[in-house]
Amino acid sequence: MTATFAELWNGIAPIGRARNGGYLRYALDEPELVLRDWFRNQAARRDMPVTDDGNGNLFAWWGDQWGHDAVLTGSHFDSVPHGGGFDGPLGIVSAFLAIDEMRRQGRVPRRPIAVVAFVEEEGGRFGVPCLGSRLLSGAIEPEQAAALTDREGITFGEALGGTPAGRLPGLTGRINALVELHIEQGRALEVPVGVASAIWPHGRWRFDFTGIGDHAGTTSMTDRRDPMLTFAYTVLAANKEARLAGATATMARVEVEPNATNAIPSLVRAWLDARAAETGTLDGLVDAVIKRAHDRAGRDGTEVAVTPESYSAEVTFEKPLATRIASLLGDVPILPTGAGHDAGVLSAHVPTAMLFVRNPTGISHSPAEHAEEEDCVAGIGALARVLGDLT
Ligand code: GLV
Ligand code: MN
Ligand code: MN
């Protein structure tokens, strides 16, 4: 099997692509199921048997299936709504092609290698990011994951076809290392390939702003209990607090009831995504936003309830491993990221590393996300060298 990057990439490009060029690839939904079939097909072409861990994560094996000390490499297929095509799939396509490259060089790994496709990394369908790696590593209870619902009320358990299996027994002995290749999502990488040093701690908080639904024409401005005002103030407060803290805060998903032009809403539900370089800064930021939302609710005669939906702790990737990989690749840059990854979740249990491929504009989670083909090919070569080194 000697496919080129362009052949594989063009093969999956139309799957789940919307008219604006962005992707609607949600976990276990039609386009993502097509990508899973593509995964099985690519694995079969390479004589790599595929296993499923019962959590929705797929593994294609070169060497013993779940033998001792496996090296995993891969990423995820799912996208954010109208996200780019590189975030996730680049890591899976590169993994298969890196294996082709190793075989072309006649390498025979001393430990099993598996290409992995993690399920629901973005949390775009069921709300909790890195759901597959959280389940695999025991960071979320299977019953809790099974009960998560999508926007239509379908549970993760229903989409998966049962309660997930949960933590992989003997996880640390079975996995020697995980290397995830990913498009860079900031503006800091100026050469084709880099290595990750850390992931900022981050999380998601749901804000339910409630008031009194009423007529837009007959309710005087002084009689209103309008949760939209409390929401609007909170968006501005989050932005200001994040700037003051040198952190990031984003409120970008919102639902309104009844969502009518001529009715004061009874409910505004919005999600805060907050991130910071340090845990203390993140906690302080979120506390400040919540306090300001409550203060404003007091003035608006509304109420606000805040529910934490997910938290991803600060990650520092194993320094000796990151340094070794960076020097193997010719002293490439080692840089932190504000984006979450399955490699970050698994880093609490097994040695993990990430390779970043240059993103010329830094734009991500957008149809404009892009990496040049020659940089992607450089990433594949780098991944093949790293896998060779680790196995
Ligand atoms: C995933 O890409 C995230 O950082 O939200
Ligand atoms: Mn992403
Ligand atoms: Mn990703």
Residues 62, 391 contacting (CB under 8 angstroms) = no
Is 90 exceeded by the pLDDT of residue 381?
Answer: yes
What is the pLDDT of the chain when averaged over all its residues?
97
Instruction: Record the tokens describing residue 209, joined without a space.
Output: 């702003």
Q: What per-residue confidence (pLDDT) applies to 280? A: 98
Nearest CA-CA partner of 86 in 383, 368, 291: 368
Atom number, ligand 1, closest to the C-alpha of residue 185: 2
**Would you state the pLDDT for residue 2?**
62
% residues pLDDT > 70 (the chain): 99
Ligand closest in space to the Cα of 77: 3
Which amino acid residue places its CA nearest to atom 1 of ligand 1?
A: 340
Taking CA atoms, 125 is separated from 25, 62, 206, 258, in Å, by: 9, 31, 15, 22
Cα 249 to Cα 269: distance, rounded to the nearest angstrom: 16
Identify the weakest region by mean pLDDT among 66-70, 102-106, 195-199: 66-70
What's the pLDDT at 66?
82
pLDDT band, residue 1 (cuts 50/70/90): low
CB under 8 Å to 230, separation ≥6 — which residues?
Answer: 209, 211, 268, 293, 296, 297, 300, 302, 304
Intra-chain end-to-end CA distance of the chain, in Å: 21
In degrees, to the nearest 5, what angle opens at C-alpha 160 toward C-alphas 309 and 131?
A: 30
Choose the CATH number for 202-312 among 3.90.180.10, 3.30.70.360, 3.30.56.10, 3.40.718.10: 3.30.70.360
**22 CA distance to ligand 3 middle (Å):** 15
Mean pLDDT, residues 358-384: 97
CB 339 within 8 A of CB 130: no
Measure the CA–CA gap between 50 and 39, rounded to whole angstroms: 9
Please answer whether residues 75 and 352 qualify as being in contact, where contact means their C-beta atoms are separated by less than 8 angstroms.
no
pLDDT band at 67 (very low <50, low <70, confident <90, very high): confident
Assigned CATH topology for domain 5-200+314-390: Aminopeptidase (3.40.630)
The pLDDT, as a whole number, for residue 96 is: 98
Model confidence pLDDT, tens digit, residues 183-233 = 999 889 999 999 999 999 999 999 999 999 999 999 999 999 999 999 999
Per-residue confidence (pLDDT) for residue 4, from 0 to 100: 94
Q: Which atom of ligand 1 is nearest to the CA of 364?
A: 2
Give the residue, out of 128, 205, 341, with the most ligand 1 atoms within 8 A of its beta carbon, to mutate for a pocket test. Answer: 341
- Give the distance (Å) from ligand 1 centre to CA of residue 109: 32
Is 372 a residue whose pLDDT tops 70? yes
The kind and range of the H/E element at 117 are strand 113-118
Cα–ligand 2 centroid distance for 73 (angstroms): 17
Name the residues around ion ligand 3, CB cutoff 5 A. 87-88
- The pLDDT value recorded for residue 168 is 95
Which ligand has an atom closest to residue 310 CA? Answer: 1
Is 252 a residue whose pLDDT tops 70?
Answer: yes
As a whole number of angstroms, the distance between CA 38 and CA 46 comes to 13
| pTM more than 0.95 | yes
- Pocket residues for ligand 1 (CB within 6 Å)? 122, 129, 339-340
Give me the helices (H) in the chain, please: 5-12, 30-45, 89-104, 131-137, 142-147, 156-160, 171-174, 227-245, 279-300, 319-328, 342-346, 373-390
Report, as an integer, the average pLDDT of 81-88.
98
Distance 114 CA to ligand 2 centre (A): 22
- pLDDT class for 68, splitting at 50, 70, 90? confident
Question: How is residue 23 written in tokens?
Answer: 């992707």
Residue 343 Cα to ligand 3 midpoint, Å, equals: 10
- Contact residues for 297 (Cβ-Cβ < 8 A; gap 6+): 209, 230, 303, 304
Q: How far is the CA of 276 from the centre of ligand 1 (A)?
A: 13
129-160 pLDDT per residue, tens:
999 999 999 999 999 999 999 999 999 999 99
Domain spans in the chain, listed from the N-terminal domain onward: 5-200+314-390, 202-312
| Closest-CA residue to 272 (of 319, 178, 216, 207) | 207
Taking a 5 Å cut-off on Cβ, the residues next to ion ligand 2 are 87
253-298 per-position pLDDT tens digit: 999 999 999 999 999 999 999 999 999 999 999 999 999 999 999 9
The residue whose two tokens read 């692509």 is 17
